[in-house]
Each structure stands twice: as structure tokens, then as C-alpha cells.
Structure 1
Amino acid sequence: MSEKKILFLDVDGTLIDYEAKLPLSAEKAVNMARENGHLVYICTGCSKAEILQRDFRTMQLDGMIGANGGYVEDNGEVLLHQSISLEDVRHIVDWCNQRHIGFYLEANSGMYINDYFLTDGPEAMAKYVLGKGKKIEDIEAFKSNSVNQYIHLPTEQLYRDDVNKVSFVLHSYQDHLDSIKEFPDLIANTWGGKDEQALFGDLGPKGITKRHAIEVLLNHLKMDASDAIAFGDAKIDLSMFECCGYNVAMGNGGKEIKEAADYITTDVNDDGLYNAFKYLKLI
């Protein structure tokens, strides 16, 4: 694979580990691949504000797909940005508050939380990290720090028109099922811990997928899907796999993503990305 390729990297569990740390080998692999003329984009459920909080050290990227496909950026140029309507955001905020559910609004400007997330969020985030096999030495300190990246606002300031996606803590799986009925014009997903246990629900605009975003970017760059390689670890990454010419699952990935992959590399913290790039002769 010496000809120019375009690489799409999921972030959590693929590029970085579940403690949001970038392995040195992954940083090296990305920089080397770009030096060899390949293009590298992250393709994540996170919004831009969340990505800007990550410590990517010296790693350079060509752009990003965020909000599970709702936002596409190429070298600083915004190609696509589809947000949830103010009316729908108001509906979601009120629905969650009525059910005493903690949520965060994901916008490019920041991540905004309600009162209930101050109690719901730390517990759910701890379950998420522990479920991915990580050890938390001081659980109370972890919970206390887990909300530092969010901006707590009163309800009237949560009615916003710049929201890409909303994630909310599931008190039970029924909350997700009820959200499907309550918001028929939005797409409802779940995400979470071990074996993708449903810890959070999320809501976003219909028609928005990682696949659609990749197609928008490929069309803009005038590149073919056969030159695209996707790297992922979770069920949400399957839509990437549907449109890329070659697909790599992480060793720490779930059953479904591994079954759909052309190649399974090692775990994210066992030089997974570097080993895959080496195998594919990208570096």
C-alpha cells in the first residue's frame, strides 16, 4: 500500500486509550504516515470542543469528522456542519429534566451540562472507564475530576442553537427506548462500557453518520473510497467500514467490529495503531 491513502481514525479506544491518553507509538505512526504522503483524519463521536481538550502532543492531522458525522473539517475549512434545531434541543432539555436525567450538549464551542449531570455523570463515566478494563486508583478523585471538562449552565441557558449532539445518562435501557419514541425525527444511539454496555444514550440529526461524512470528504478531495482505510473499535464505527476500501479493528474492539474487519490489530495500548500502519506498509 505505497500509493496515497486516506486514513480515518476513531478516537476513543482507537487513537487514544480510555483514559484519554495518546500512546507514543500512535503519535509516531500518524506523523510518519503523513510524512509518507498519506492523509489522516480523525472520525469520532466527539464534538470539536472535546477534541481540542485532548493532548495530541506533536501529532498532526489533516482534519476531522466530529459528532458522529455531523461536522466535517479539512485543513481548517468546514465542509459540513449539521446541528440540532433549537426547538429539538429545548424538547430534549425539558424531557431529560422531567426524568431527572443528566445530559451534556455537545457543541463546537463547549460541552454544556444540566444539574443532574453533576450527580449522574461521574458515576456513569467511572463505569465507562472501568468497563473498558482500566483501573481507577482513587475512584472519588476520578469522579470529582470527571466533570471538569464540562460547563454547567442553568436550564434557560441550555436552550441553544449550536448543538451537534446530546448524550444523556441511561438510568435504564428503557430511557433509550423511550427516547426513540419521543424524538422520531432524530437518530437515537447508545454507547458505553464493556462489550458496549449501554451507559449513555445520544440524540443527533437524522441522515448524519460517519459514512455520510466520509463520503462528503472524499468527494471534496476527489479521492476514491478504495483508497480509504478505516480504524475503529466499536459498533458506531461500522458505518465507516461500509464505505472504506479496507477496515481495521482494534484488538480491544467489540465482537461486531472485529467480524466486519479485514484485519484485527493489537490493543490500543499495545501499539495497535502503529502495528496496523506497519502491517499495511503505510510507514
Structure 2
Amino acid sequence: MKSAVFFDIDGTIWDYDKFIPESAKVAIKKLRENGHLAFICSGRARAFINDPDLLGLGFDGIVCSCGCHIEIDGKIIYQNIIDKDVVKHTVELIRDYGFRPILEGPKYIYMDDDEFGIDDPFGNVLRRDVGENLVPVGGDYYGDWVINKMSCATEVEADKRLECFDKLSSHYQVIEHNENVCELVPVGHNKATGMIKACELVGIDLANTYAIGDSENDLDMLQAAHVGIAMGNGTDRAKEVADYVTTDFDKDGIYNALKHFGLI
């Protein structure tokens, strides 16, 4: 019976140094050789999924931007772009609260250097990985963004942060990773909705789905899949909602999980 496996990227396939365990490469290759489908299912925007070693693992499709962008066999088959007026209002609102925004789209990631300086770790990851497609929020790009979602640095007082989240709730699901980082995903979208839509398009029943992830934006996917698998290095909440907890990503976590369920 053909199954589809949906893989988170960060903390699941690799770390922020882009280290992919050899066992993960072998496992994904064997999975597809056995007739199953392998999908990326990431919170990253498509502009932030461009590494040749990652894409070279051989995925059948990409669900990204928390379900707002779906590609199958290299073709875009679904995309949700946030209205530019809504984006402008959001940027103004969150900056008023002291948040620092990163706007994430299919072609460009938008980030202002004066908000994410050379000492900012995530800003430096974007500079390293996105290259010329990392452009400013402001300047010539201001108001002309094409984006699916946003991420924010939220180093403000808890009451201010929660007040801002409340004001955002009519347009976004707020995924709070910790007190300093959140994602803003358009209402009605998450990794699970993307996974379900991708399955409909390739003719896979949800009873034959597996999802593997490690963090807060994976919770919906882990619960919606027939089998949700949390990485050993995952958050407590990811492990709580998962059906199975495998080993850490760098301790053959993907290989061990796929082997456990007889997929390889």
C-alpha cells in the first residue's frame, strides 16, 4: 500500500548548519524506492528552500509556508498570497509593539538589516541561505511585497506581546515558538491543511500518511496524519501529540522511524 511521508526540515532532516545525517539520505531514498511518496512539509517559505543537497534528496513535492504554498513534481498547484494592504497594516501594527518582522514569500524573503544586524543569528542564516533573494522590507520594496506568511522577533514584555497577538488573530494563526519568536500564518492554513490538500491531489488516503516533525508549527501536522512521529530532539508538545517518538535527528531519527513502521 502506497503511503506518503511528510518531513519537516529544521530539527528533523537537518540542523541550522545544514547537516543532513547520512542515514536520513539513505532512508528517504529507500522510502521512494519502495514506492512511497516523500514530501517536504515546512514552515519555511519557498524562497528559503533552495539548498541543492536538501532538494537532491528527491522529494515528490513541497508543502511550505505552513500550507500556503504547495508544489508537486516541480509545479505550483496551490498558493495563498496575503493581500498587500493587510501586510502593510500588519507590519505597522507589529512594529508599533516593538516586534521585528521578516516577510516570507515564494521568491523573496524581506528583512531590514537595521532590525536584524550582523550579530543576529537568524538574520545571518537568511543572509547565508537566501542570498540575492533576501531583500529589504522597506525602500523600493515597501508595499509591494508578495508573501505567504511572516515571522517575528518578539522580545517585548509579555502583556504587550499577548495584546498584539490578540489584534492579529482575525487574520493570522500565531505560532509562538518561545517568548522571542513567533510565526504569523494566514487563518485557515497550517502544515496539516497543506498535507491534506497534497494528499488529495496525489490520491493518497489520510489513513496512509505519516508526518515527522519536532516543533510547535508541526503540531497540526502530527495530529492530522495517520501516524505522527516526533523527533527525539523535539519539543515537549510535539512529543505529547505524536503517536511515536523516534531518536534525535542526528541519531538516525528518520531512518529509525521509517524502519519501525515498515516503510523501509
Same fold (TM over 0.5): yes
- Report whether the alignment pairs 1:168 with 2:149: no
Q: Which residue of 28, 53, 59 corresponds with 2:26?
A: 28
Q: How does 1:208-219 map to 2 (within 5 A)?
A: 208-219=189-200
Structure 1's 100 and 69: CA in aligned 2 closer, same or farther, altered over 3 A? same
Aligned counterpart, 2:169: 184
Q: Which residue of 200, 205, 213 corresponds with 1:232?
A: 213
Does the CA-based 8 Å contact 1:122-1:146 persist in structure 2? no
Q: Which residue of 153, 158, 168 corresponds with 2:142?
A: 158
Q: Which runs of 5+ in 2 are unaligned?
A: none
Structure 1's 203 and 155: CA in aligned 2 closer, same or farther, altered over 3 A? farther
User: After superposition, what is the alpha-carbon deviation per residue over 1:113-164, rounded to whole angstroms, capped at 9, x for unaligned?
Assistant: 1244323x84363xxxxxxxxxxxxxxxxx7666443323534513234111
Q: How does 1:6-155 map to 2 (within 5 A)?
A: 6-53=4-51, 55-56=53-54, 58-119=56-117, 122-123=119-120, 125=122, 147-148=127-128, 149=130, 150-155=134-139
Measure the CA separation in 2 of the matches of 1:98 and 1:233: 32
Structure 1's 188 and 179: CA in aligned 2 closer, same or farther, altered over 3 A? farther
Q: Which runs of 5+ in 1 are unaligned?
A: 126-142
* Residue identity (%): 28
Which piece of structure 1 moves more, 200-209 or 169-178? 169-178
Which piece of structure 1 moves more, 16-25 or 70-79? 16-25
Does the CA-based 8 Å contact 1:27-1:58 persist in structure 2? no
Give the counterpart letter for 1:35 in structure 2: E
Does the CA-based 8 Å contact 1:228-1:246 persist in structure 2? yes
Aligned length: 259
Aligned counterpart, 1:5: 3
List 4+ stretches of structure 1 deviating above 6 A: none
Q: Which residue of 213, 227, 230 corresponds with 1:249?
A: 230
Does the CA-based 8 Å contact 2:153-2:180 persist in structure 1? yes
Does the CA-based 8 Å contact 2:210-2:226 persist in structure 1? yes
Aligned counterpart, 1:202: 183
CA deviation after TM superposition for structure 1 residue 82, in Å: 0.7
Q: Secondary structure at the match of 2:76?
A: strand
Q: Secondary structure at the match of 2:224?
A: coil
